[in-house]
Structure 1
Amino acid sequence: MKRQHAISPTSDSIEKWHALLRDLSPGVRNWVSTDGLVWLHLLKTVTAGLLALGIAMVLDLPQPRIAMSTVFVLMQPFSGMVLAKSFYRIVGTAVGAMAALTLGALFVQQAELHMLGMTIWISACIAAAVRYRHFRWYGFVLAGYTAALIGIPTVAAPHDLFLAALTRAAEVTVGIVCSSAVSALIVPQRSSLALLRALELRYCNFTAFAADVLSRQVSRSAFERRFAALVDEIVGFEATRIFAAFEDPAMRLRSHRLGRLNSEFMDACARLHALHQLLKRSHAGNASATMATIDPCLRELAALLTLRRDASVDVSHVSARLRQFQTALPRHVRQIREQLHEPSAELLADFDTAAELLYRFVDECAKYSDTYSALARREDRPQERSANHYVSITNGYVVAFTFIRSATVMGIAACFWIGTGWPSGGLAVIGAALACALTSTAPDPTNMAVQMGLGSALATLVGYAFTCYVYPNIDGFPLLCVMLAPVLATGAYLATRKRTAGLGVGFSVFFCLLAAPDNVVVFEPDLLINNGVALTASMFLAAIVLATVFPADMRWLIERIIGDLRAQAVLACKDQRPELNQRFQSSTHDLASQLRLLLTRRSRRRRHALRWMLATLEVGHAVIDLRNEVSRAHYLQPLDPRWRPAVEAVLDRLAQLFERPDARTLDGAFVAVRSAIWTAQDLLAAVRTDPGKRHDVQRILSCLHFIRTALLDKDAPFASR
């Protein structure tokens, strides 16, 4: 009972929020749910930034601007995101400070060696951030960036290093506390609420999509587009789940259930994709008339799932209806099968495979509905404590090239600084580190670096105007807040727009670093311009290097990532670890999401990568089903000594096909699958008198036949190799 009450505050918050929205007019409700949230985020961001500035001034910290810039780097729309980032920022700041102290102690007044060590450290941190991604990304980035902020300005004055580390940590802590407090206390937008709304929307979208697929109303291009959107939701769900766990104890208690829900959603999507593929192939071939006989079952299931579009339908009711449909499905299929007029063995295999895939899809869809319904009702179920492994994979070349790109950018900036003795050269190195860090996981890092450079140039111009004309003519902290608020809000607003995110981040952060007031204001506009030029130059230097030195979307690297994607099918064929299905599903979706971020929208390369993802999911899932069915039907080997070698040949040939896809390996895989089908048909005749064993062999035959149709699919990427 205690666990059921743990989530009640979140439930009350949802009900109060929905009640408030219902009391408003439709126009106001729409504004509150869209632009109103943006304005609320701007208000909270500016409030937190000015609060951090004021507290740092009261504490007489040397650079209050660092506390304010911390807020703009840290602030997010949802409080869970801010708390998660704050936690890892604290860890990263502590590690970075220790790294700066260590490098300063090892290379006292040795600028060349100190910058070499700093470059290696920061580049390694950025590479590790790309490797681990998601919520851990921020900790690694801060470990590198903080070391630069502390260590680089004190290269020539090592006696100031320890004091700089302490004051830097204090300034960052003020920014962390202010952003976290404002986000959590002023009209908090909780990640847990956003997660629950996203789950509801995802369930509605999935059932509507499934109903369209079952009704055969989705074209190939539309299916690929909508299925790819589901892949993005699967990957994004994991990050949101972590954010929600930071702010809501109830979500932490139900973390395993949420992981289970995502796993079951992946299974349901995979079953839907397999069923769609078989229906598409049968419609294009000679089996369309035979397969049309199963359309009544498909239409009935589509009508059942379409009910979910009505918000008044209870998910538990839909789940119960799915179980009823699943119970009655075998009888309906037998009746339809008996009415077929002398079908060939090929057409009968198509029909049996479609029926088996339909049954499996209903089963996975019912499991997904059961878990989602239990989560909505806050029930405590034993299976939520089971392990759910979500595996993220990053190609080793991507990590290595990230290290090389970051080291190249910082090396060029450091060599120029040391060679010329430019007073603002140290800030250029810091800017280079910041550019490499913030663009490391961006979909288009070059464009983001260019936007950050433009934001830095704009921040320099606005900062010059403030330094020369605003600060000398105002007096007192309240008036300072009034003058800063519009500028800070503008930068925060630009950062919320997808097309101008880099511009907004660059303007907000660099305006704070360049022109935000300190406790002792120094009138040095020439220094401000020098620093602004240094930051802007470092941003454009980063853009040039990112576009020329191992760019993230180069064809060779994309092919390596696609190779990692295909390797997941090899894993499905050979891996013996437990939870194989969850590992296969999560890693495949994770790699597919990376490819979608790297490749241009509506490009041929993106469609090619998507089709490899679909083929990998299709064949890999069928192979896992085949291995599970074969392990349960262990009694088949004594009946026919050819059986185990035939299955092993199928697994070996399919693994070779995904390792080296070409016409020869495709022919070898097809021959192995066909031979296994013939052996399984002989076994089916041998066990025909035993209903249980007959059903086992029929399920094995369905898996093999589905793999065969996948290999023959003209739209599959095998044929294009």
Structure 2
Amino acid sequence: MNSQLISRVRFGCKLTFAILGALILGFYFHLETPRWSAMTAAIVVSGPAMAAGGEPFAGAIRHRGLLRVIGTFIGCIAALVIIVATARAPVVMLLLCCIWAGVCTWWSSLVRVENSYALGLAGYTALIIVVTSASTPLQTPQFAVERCSEIVLGICCAVVADLLFSPRSIKSDVDRSVSQLLLDQFALMRLCVNQGEKEDIDKSWSNLIKSTTALNGMRRSLIMESSRWQRVNERLKALHSTSLSMITQACETYLILQTSPDRITSNIEELFAEPAETPIEVHRRMKQLRQAISSTRSDEILLTISSWIGGGTRALLLAKGIQTNCSISSVESNILNSEVVVKPASAERHHAMINGLRTFVASAAGCLLWLWTGWTSGSGCVVIIAVVTSLAMRTPNPKGMATDFIVGMLLAIPVGSVYFMLIMPATQQSLFLLCLSLGIFTFFIGIEVTKRRLGMLGLLVGTINILVLSNPMKFNVAAFLDSATGQAIGTMIALVVLLLIRDNSRERTGRTLLNRFMSSAVSALTTKVYRRRENHLPALYHQLNQLLVMFPNDIGKYRLALMLIIAHQRMKMAEIPVSEELSTFHKKIRNTADHVVSAGDSKRPYYYQRLLAELNEYQQKLVEYNAPPKVTEPVKRLTEMLKKYQHAFLA
């Protein structure tokens, strides 16, 4: 509890230093709008903390800052191109900006979450520049340069603050997670060998997938922290794939032993009789298991168990290297280069289209309101609409994010009024008193942000935005209230658009994911060496995690997806007879499976039935080529599974 309090206080100091440093330097360099530097520092520092629910690990702020720089430069270039092309048609210019914001949001929904921030920022940066310079388009280049300068200054202050206030390293958490991962792997295999309760296996399997996914997320944070962890990063990549392979083999062992309990030898069964309580015990059991399989005939040992023991041995070697960060040995190098990891393709294309449409409609509605009414704060309203919709779309709960901004912007009105009407006029002659008053506010907001308190991030950004913070200050109360009202109305319009344009892509995305599991299982049918080196497990388990998030109570979908992952792994390991005819047929089956994934609702049943027919024909060809049961049985099981559950792939 004390360490958590210290962490929160340290983060509050970090946020305060970053914002005040950006503000003071903005005044010193006579920037046009120093508040943009302060806002940048606030968003870059507090954003990762809000997402993490505590002080972010070292490197997260630097990574977010880099993405913000990239997004700002892309947005500035886009704004210049739009203004040069349509300066004489303001309505067309605003329409193009809204389209650009929608396209960036759509694109950001298709890339990795940690990189989507840059694209979302590029969308609303262009809109900010165009809206702000609409009355003086000839000054747009100057405004774009000033905007970039303010952003870079705010990011530099955020990075310096992160370095000064003892950033929290994730390496110790990685070491603990790696040790626990090995224990959990042994516990899952023990349950599968001993035919434990299905509920216990489901729980152990689910927790192990989550911990493996979390460890991969830690890997990304670790490499952002420092380049000296490059060797650890490579080992963690390999450990991630190895862990997923061991999970798959354990689950397949359970399925095999359900129907054939006599296929496991007594000496191996004895080694899984007692649990392993410590990493040292896991090491000892692994050594005994290797000795057991070396003294037993290969045809008497289940392939899944021998593969699991081999994976566990590699995992132990990688874990030692992760903890010591020593040089990579030749044995480890072979492990790291043995497979090519295939990146997952996004299954959320319809969801991404809805996100882009929401951003476009919300921004266009704000522009229409501004042009129709001539409202002096209409430009600020448009900007906040674009900001909220662009940032909220990539979060798991866009409506919750928009609600957070609404609460924050409404709270910013009374808080900002106290500062604007009482505190700041009294501290106008003293920069020290101004920094002291703002510092107290940002310090306590920083502590609340780490607690994920509703509205705190919006309150921080909204208050800094409406205070203007120029030198010298002009205390126009009417303009202040107008700006604050525009800010609040903008967030409300954004939420209304989110509620009106419903995202009905959940079922569609779930069906696409299941069809991709099926396609991956079929695509593993190959005799090509380069295709056998491809490792699809990280992509498959990433999609399985999406399925878990989207359908948290549908255990049937999880089990079907897991069986397809097991089928994929079994097909990949099957020794298919090498034949040009079979190779051509493999290509034909893969092509049909791809059509099942990409076809519309009317064509999908046709391609699915064609796939089943081709799999039946393929089984006959395997018989003609005298393929062993290790090949024919998995193909038969896959075909029967696709027949039995075809309603799940077509519904």
Per the shorter chain, which TM-score range? Answer: 0.7 to 0.9
Contact 1:467 1:523 (8 Å CA) reproduced: yes
Report 1:638-653 matches (<5 A). Answer: none
Residue 700 of structure 1: aligned partner: 631
Count of equivalent residues:
629
Q: Give the match for residue 254 of structure 2.
A: 276
- In structure 2, relative to structure 1, the CA distance for the partners of 1:655 and 1:54 (3 Å cut) is closer
38, 46, 59: which one aligns with 1:68: 38
Match of 1:301 in 2: 272
- Aligned-pair distance for 1:115? 0.7
Answering whether residue 556 of structure 2 is matched by residue 622 of structure 1, we say no
AA paired with 1:622? Answer: R
2:323 to 353, 376, 379: 376
1:65 and 1:513 in contact (8 A); partners too: yes
CA 718–399 in structure 1, closer or farther in 2 if over 3 Å, else same: closer
Distance 1:645 1:390 in 2: 23
Q: Which of the numbers 129, 137, 149 marks the counterpart of 1:150?
A: 129
- The aligned counterpart of 1:348 is none
Aligned-pair distance for 1:95? 1.6
- Is the CA contact (8 Å cut-off) linking 2:185 and 2:246 kept in structure 1? no
Unmatched segments (≥5 aa) in structure 1: 1-29, 335-351, 685-696
Question: Which of the residues 62, 72, 76 maps onto 1:83?
Answer: 62
Output the CA distance in 2 between the equivalents of 1:212 and 1:506: 47
- Alignment of structure 1 residues 229-628 onto 2, 5 Å: 229-279=207-257, 281-282=258-259, 287=260, 290=262, 294=265, 297-301=268-272, 303=274, 306-307=275-276, 309-310=277-278, 313=280, 320-330=287-297, 334=300, 355-377=302-324, 378-381=326-329, 382-383=333-334, 384=336, 388-395=340-347, 396-474=349-427, 476-497=430-451, 500=453, 503-515=455-467, 517-551=469-503, 553-573=505-525, 578=530, 582-597=534-549, 599=550, 601-602=552-553, 604=554, 607-626=555-574
Q: CA-atom RMSD, angstroms?
A: 3.8
Deviation string for 1:58-111 (max 9, x for gaps)? 222222221121122212312211122222222221121122222222222532
Q: 1:205 pairs with 184, 190, 198, which one?
A: 184
Q: 1:492 to 1:371 in 2, by over 3 A?
A: same
AA aligned opposite 2:18: A
Deviation sequence 1:690-710 (CA, Å, 0-9, x none): xxxxxxx46436645764786
Gaps (5+ residues) in structure 2? Answer: 49-55
The equivalent of 1:167 in structure 2 is 146
* TM-score between both structures, scaled by the size of structure 1: 0.77
What letter is aligned with 2:566? E
Q: Is the 8 A contact 2:10 2:165 kept in 1?
A: no
Alpha-carbon separation, structure 2, partners of 1:171 and 1:253: 36
CA distance in 1 between partners of 2:196 and 2:120 (Å): 46
CA contact (8 A) 1:446 1:544 kept: no
Query: Which amino acid letter does the alignment assign opposite residue 405 of structure 2?
Result: M
Q: Contact between 1:264 and 1:368, CA under 8 Å: does it hold in 2?
A: yes
What SS class does the counterpart of residue 131 from structure 1 fall into? coil
Q: 1:9 maps to what in 2?
A: none
C-alpha displacement at 1:39, in angstroms? 3.3
C-alpha distance 655-136 of structure 1, shift in aligned 2 (>3 A): closer
| Paired-residue identity, % | 16
Stretch deviating more after TM superposition (564-573 or 417-426): 564-573
- 8 Å CA contact retained: 2:526, 2:586: no
Q: 1:385 to 1:359 in 2, by over 3 A?
A: closer
Q: Distance in 2 between matches of 1:268 and 1:73?
A: 40
Contact 1:111–1:156 (CA under 8 A) maintained in structure 2:
no
CA spacing shift, 1:594–1:435, aligned 2, 3 Å: farther
Which shows bigger deviation, 43-52 or 200-209? 200-209
Equivalent residue letter for 1:441: R
Does the 8 Å CA contact 1:52/1:67 hold for their aligned counterparts? yes
Q: Using a 3 Å threshold, how does the CA distance of structure 1 residues 385 and 654 change in structure 2: closer, same or farther?
A: closer
The answer as to whether partners of 2:513 and 2:543 remain within 8 angstroms in 1 is yes
Deviations 1:605-626 (A, max 9, x none): xx45433421321222222222
Partner of 1:187: 166
User: Does the 8 Å CA contact 1:389/1:579 hold for their aligned counterparts?
Assistant: no
| Greater length-normalized contact order (CA 8 Å, ≥ 6 residues apart) | 2
CA distance, structure 1, for counterparts of residue 310 and residue 633 of structure 2: 16
8 Å CA contact 1:122–1:433 kept in 2: the answer is: yes
**Do the aligned partners of residues 719 and 173 (structure 1) sit closer, same or farther apart at CA in structure 2, a change above 3 Å counting?**
closer
C-alpha distance after superposition, 1:287-324 (max 9, x if no partner):
55x46x65762451364xx43x325x287656544433
Aligned to 2:51: none
Structure 2 distance, partners of 1:299, 1:713, is 37
The answer to whether the 8 Å contact 1:263/1:388 transfers is no
Deviations 1:518-577 (A, max 9, x none): 333221333333223323232232223223324165433443444344433343347968
Which amino acid is 1:300 matched to? L
Query: Is the 8 Å Cα contact of residues 72 and 509 (structure 1) preserved in structure 2?
Result: yes
Alpha-carbon deviation of 1:718?
6.0
Do 1:109 and 1:155's aligned partners in 2 also have CA atoms closer than 8 Å? no
- Is the 2:18–2:41 contact (alpha carbons within 8 Å) kept by the matching residues of 1? yes
Counterpart code for 2:272:
L
1:35-57 C-alpha deviation (Å, 9 max, x unpaired):
44333323322222222222222
Alpha-carbon distance change, 711 to 146 in structure 1, aligned in 2, over 3 angstroms: closer
Q: 1:530 to 1:325 in 2, by over 3 A?
A: farther
Report SS of the residue matched to 1:79. coil
1:527/1:657 Cα in 2 relative to 1: closer, same or farther (>3 Å)? closer
Distance in structure 2 (CA, Å) of the matches to 1:374 and 1:648? 40
Equivalent residues of 2:511, 2:648 under 8 A apart: no
Query: Is the contact between residue 61 and residue 158 of structure 2 (CA under 8 Å) also seen in structure 1?
Result: yes
Deviation at 1:197, TM superposition (A): 4.0
Equivalence for 1:25: none
The code of the aligned residue for 1:620 comes to H
